[in-house]
Chain A
Amino acid sequence: MVVPGRRKSIAFFITLGAVLIAVIVLLYIGNVLLNWRTGVLLFLGILLLAMIIAGVVLNTIFLVREIRRNEQHDAFINAVTHELKTPVTSIRLYLQTLQTREVDERKRQEFYRIMLEDSDRLMSTIEQVLRTGRLGAVSRELNPSRIDLHAVVEESLSKARAIHHLEKESIRYQSHSPVTILGDPDEVQAAVSNLIDNAIKYSGHTVNVAVETATEGKFVTLRVQDQGFGIPKMELKQIFKRFYRVSGPNATRVKGTGLGLYIVRSVAKRHRGRVWAESEGPGRGSTFVLQLPLAP
């Protein structure tokens, strides 16, 4: 979440810094023009000044980046707090309801179903956070085995349909040839699930997602295309950063931790593949492409 007040004050100080640097440069140029005869001393002075200015600029850039990271970290803590507390609150609410009130059988079954869904949601947030921690630990070696990507996609799709209560037509899957890759089944599953979940979450009310796998040379590409909120061109790369959440009035309404695409990118890298996003801009949907090497 961006705090507008803070943004404004940062902008003020950055402008102030830039103006001061400009003033120093102008004054120095003026000074040089007045005393152009002093030769070596002048050259040393220019060098020193350039170094000072470079230092100040670097310092400012570093500061801004730190502030940004801090803001994202705050937003992340907020989001995780929300994602953890909401399902727990719901489960407690229903348990206490069942404990204190007379509930008929039909309602009781409905409450059980709701509580199970909430515990799934809780579990997936916990998984997401733990997985990010594990991927961050560089020392862990990849333990590859042969995986059928079709099976992974099919499983992710049926899970996603169940969680989001979707009809089969809402997500279509098309595959051209059998695909075997080398990798960690758990990680690949997480990456694929994240892409499909995102496509659904950022679709809005009408979900229309197309999933496709195809082999291209030594690689297999998985394309997940939605007709949802889309992504501004400027943010196509940034969305893969840890904690980053896409901006825009619709996209900010989607609940999440900002970890999903970071996980996808980390998994892709560990498997010597890559992932990227394509979008014509806000309101025009987006496509995510995951490219992984085929098993030899």
Chain B
Amino acid sequence: MIQVLVVEDEAHLAEGLRFNLEAEGYRVQVAETGEAAQSMLRESREFDVVVLDVMLPGKSGFDVMSEMRKAGQFIPTLMLTARGHPDDVLKGFAAGADDYLTKPFELPILIARIGSLLRRREWLRSDAVNQVSSSPPQEAAESLTFADKAVNFELLELKVREQVFPLTLMEANLLRYLIQHEGKAVSRKAMLEQVWGVHEDTDTRPIDNFIVRLRRYIEDDPTHPRHLVTVRGIGYRFVASPK
């Protein structure tokens, strides 16, 4: 499961970010100070992306950022701050930030930017894998079609007739998994394990939220799904060409 570290001392903002990122299917940890964030990053290599506030009590976000990079921690980091002056933005990038967003921000844009940082990370990884093994590109198909819909996993796009929907990385992964198991009932637990890589007994409700969203994209009538059918007591089944 993708892990996000949110470094934010304002409790309300931290909680709001946590709620939204968890709804996206990420696991979220919050640090209230730069010092706490640094020790969490030292102890765990599990974090995939960091959201870093600038105006923190004690050590500022800029300092935390540059010290992270000096320490060889190259985790994709998005800086989030009330300071929108060009000098501040440049200072953020100079310190080593990958992206910079000023408060107040648009929630969908924040989510999209975090998604893009994660996507870039995935691409770099698969690039590295390809170079090492010099094998043909990933065994997973890069695009799949069913009925009158086409999913492009490389561009993270879903094309339904003439309409194009952008997908988040997790949405795309979940859809790919369901398509690969076409016709079979897939349990929520299996999805958590295979798509999110979570092997613990955690809440499986986020999956339902994902299914709701996928249905909105691929179903003509999301309230009467025909492609993504609920299998009571188990999970879901994907049907490519319903009768």
Contact = CB atoms under 8 A, between A and B. Distances in A.
Interface in B11-50: 12-13, 15-17, 19-20, 23
Given A78-B55, A86-B10, A93-B20, 12 more contacts: A82-B82, A86-B82, A88-B103, A89-B104, A90-B10, A93-B13, A96-B107, A97-B19, A97-B20, A114-B16, A117-B12, A252-B57
A102 B209 contact: yes
Nearest to A86: B10
Given A81-B82, A101-B20, A86 B13 contact: yes
A97 B16 contact: yes
The 4 closest A-B pairs by CB, nearest first: A253-B57, A96-B107, A89-B104, A85-B82
A85 B83 CA distance: 9
A9 interface: no
A258 to B, nearest CB: 15
Interface of A: 78, 81-82, 85-90, 92-94, 96-97, 100-102, 107, 114, 117-118, 249, 252-253
B107 A97 contact: yes
A118 B15 CA distance: 13
Nearest to B103: A89
Given A81-B83, A85-B103, A94 B16 contact: yes
13 contacts: A86-B103, A87-B12, A88-B103, A89-B13, A89-B104, A90-B10, A92-B107, A93-B16, A93-B17, A100-B107, A101-B20, A107-B19, A249-B58
Contacts of A249: 58
Interface residues of B, number: 22
Q: At the interface, is chain B mostly helix, strand, loop or mixed?
A: helix
A114 B15 contact: yes
Contacts of B16: 90, 93-94, 97, 114
Interface in B166-189: none
Contacts of A85: 82, 103-104
A289 B33 CA distance: 33
Contact of B106 (A88, A96, A252): A96
Contacts of A253: 57-58
Contacts of B107: 92-93, 96-97, 100
Contacts of A90: 10, 12-13, 16
B154 to A, nearest CB: 26
B212 interface: yes
B104 A88 contact: yes
Contacts of A87: 12
Contacts of B212: 102
B227 to A, nearest CB: 21
B233 interface: no
Contacts of B12: 87, 90, 114, 117-118
Contacts of B19: 97, 107
A89 B12 CA distance: 10
A82 B56 CA distance: 11
A89 B105 CA distance: 7
A102 B205 CA distance: 12
A121 to B, nearest CB: 9
Interface in B98-139: 103-108
Interface string B202-213: 000000010010
B108 A89 contact: no
A101 B82 CA distance: 25
B113 to A, nearest CB: 15
A97 B105 CA distance: 12
Interface in B194-243: 209, 212
A209 B12 CA distance: 26
Between A92, A107, A117, the greatest number of chain B beta carbons within 10 A of the residue's beta carbon is seen for A92
| Central interface residue in A89, A94, A117, by most chain B CB within 10 Å | A89
A253 B56 CA distance: 8
Nearest to B80: A89
A102 B19 CA distance: 11
Contacts of B13: 86, 89-90, 93
